[in-house]
């Protein structure tokens, strides 16, 4: 198969979808890999390294002309012109929060497989997990930075100092993002509360953190009370492939402390805070009712060296299956089949259809 690796053009997105080592693995299996010149520079990977691995350096148009394009982030509007009905696209999509992209994929007939909806039988999301780990750890780090007075925050340090109490961190969601945010927050000495709907998940978190954080059922009254006390709120809620539920409402903001910070990691799925909107690394924050909002939708792009290698570790085995077998790989692998979001003008992910009121079909029916 001919595989294209375009350079990411989302604002300050420095990740790349395949490392030279991954390119070499694909080339050894007989595939032709076209890498856009400069695609890896943001992650510290040179064109020479890709050439040595067996890639051919091309321009953006030629990379997108491949049979399968592997990316990191969803196509932005400037890339919609490259979508077509004989293209297999493998990348993060987050369609439930992006109607224009959904329409573009359907109109073009592109077959798109979304990293974030590839799902194993146990419910785990293997291609979302590595970036959730990065984003979760970054959320606390970023929140601590914006709590500084010079960044518009309250002027508090997460861990406090002897004689001065630590900051209070509220984490909404106890999944991969929330757990990793909690690890960093606890490690920095903050008082941490984590909320989740699953009692068994709260039991698990209580066990692994050995009582060093507070676990609480995620209900509206509990959230309403907790945000009043929070210095930092981390939105870490995920409903696979669907829009995130709105847990922090506009009226709650007026009860929060002046200069408190919200970091909503769920923003790429619409966000779990009513007042959140997607921002970029060059303009990451804005203020509503005195509360600093951080809504960068590609947080791991700020640490591309770590993120690129962590992502490729997980995506490469699936990319090789798709390269080797094409659509047959989807039929043979139930986990990969769940990643199919669009095919030949049909929407194949129910939660996206529900978000936009669009009819959807099952992946199996669409492929048949």
The whole-angstrom separation of Cα 169 and Cα 187 is 12
C-alpha R_g of the chain: 21
Please say if 281 is a catalytic residue: no
Task: For residue 32, give the 3-state DSSP assignment.
Answer: strand
DSSP 283: B
Question: Of the listed 31, 94, 293, 343, which one is catalytic?
Answer: 94
> Which class for 149: exposed (0-12), middle (13-18), buried (19 or more C-beta within 10 A)?
exposed
Mind giving me the DSSP string for 70-95?
E-SSPPPGGGGGG--TT-EEEE---G
The whole-angstrom separation of Cα 152 and Cα 286 is 9
DSSP bridge partners of 163: none
- Spatial CA neighbour of 79 closest among 51, 100, 58, 55: 100
Question: Of the listed 196, 231, 264, 268, which one is catalytic?
Answer: 268
Please say if 94 is a catalytic residue: yes
Phi, psi for residue 43 in degrees, rounded to 5:
-100, 10
Burial 321-359 (b: 16+ CB within 10 A, else e): bbbeeeeebbeebebbbbbbbbbeebbbbebbbebeeee
Mind giving me the DSSP string for 202-240?
HHHHHHHTTTSSEEEE--HHHHHHHHHH-SEEEE----T
DSSP-derived pairing of the beta strands 168-172 and 232-235:
parallel
CB count within 10 Å of CB 208 equals: 12
Residue 39 in contact with residue 5, Cβ under 8 Å? Answer: yes
Residue 13 in contact with residue 73, Cβ under 8 Å? Answer: yes
DSSP bridge partners of 327: none
As annotated, the active-site residues are: 94, 268
């Amino acid at each position: 198969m001919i595989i294209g690796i375009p350079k990411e053009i989302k604002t300050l997105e420095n990740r790349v979808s395949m490392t030279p080592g991954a390119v070499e693995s694909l080339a050894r299996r007989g595939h032709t890999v076209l890498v856009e010149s400069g695609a890896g520079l943001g992650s510290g990977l040179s064109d020479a390294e890709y050439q040595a691995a067996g890639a051919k350096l091309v321009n953006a148009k030629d990379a997108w002309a491949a049979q399968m394009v592997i990316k990191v982030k969803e196509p932005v509007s400037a890339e919609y012109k490259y979508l077509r009905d004989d293209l297999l696209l493998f990348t993060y999509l987050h369609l439930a929060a992006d109607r224009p992209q959904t329409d573009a994929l359907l109109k073009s007939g592109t077959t798109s497989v979304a990293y974030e909806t590839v799902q194993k039988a146990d419910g785990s999301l293997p291609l979302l997990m590595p970036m959730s780990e990065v984003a979760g750890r970054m959320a606390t780090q970023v929140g601590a930075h914006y709590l500084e007075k010079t960044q518009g925050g309250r002027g508090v340090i997460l861990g406090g100092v002897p004689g001065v109490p630590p900051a209070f961190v509220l984490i909404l969601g106890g999944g991969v993002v929330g757990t990793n945010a909690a690890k960093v927050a606890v490690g920095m000495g903050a008082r941490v509360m984590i909320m989740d709907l699953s009692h068994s998940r709260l039991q698990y978190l209580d066990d692994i953190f050995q009582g060093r954080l507070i676990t609480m059922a995620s209900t509206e009254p509990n959230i309403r009370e907790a945000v009043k006390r929070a210095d930092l709120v981390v939105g870490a809620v995920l409903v696979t492939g669907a829009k995130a539920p709105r847990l922090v409402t506009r009226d709650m903001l007026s009860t929060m402390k002046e200069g408190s910070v919200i970091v909503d990691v769920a923003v790429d799925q619409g966000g779990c805070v009513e007042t959140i909107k997607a921002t970029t690394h060059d303009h990451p924050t804005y203020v509503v009712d005195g509360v600093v909002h951080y809504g960068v939708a590609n947080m791991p792009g700020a640490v591309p060296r770590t993120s690129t290698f962590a992502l490729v570790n997980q995506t490469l085995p699936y990319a090789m299956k798709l390269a080797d077998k094409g659509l047959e790989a989807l039929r043979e692998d139930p986990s990969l089949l769940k990643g199919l979001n669009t095919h030949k003008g049909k929407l194949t992910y129910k939660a996206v259809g529900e978000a936009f009121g669009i009819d959807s079909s099952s992946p199996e029916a669409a492929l048949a």
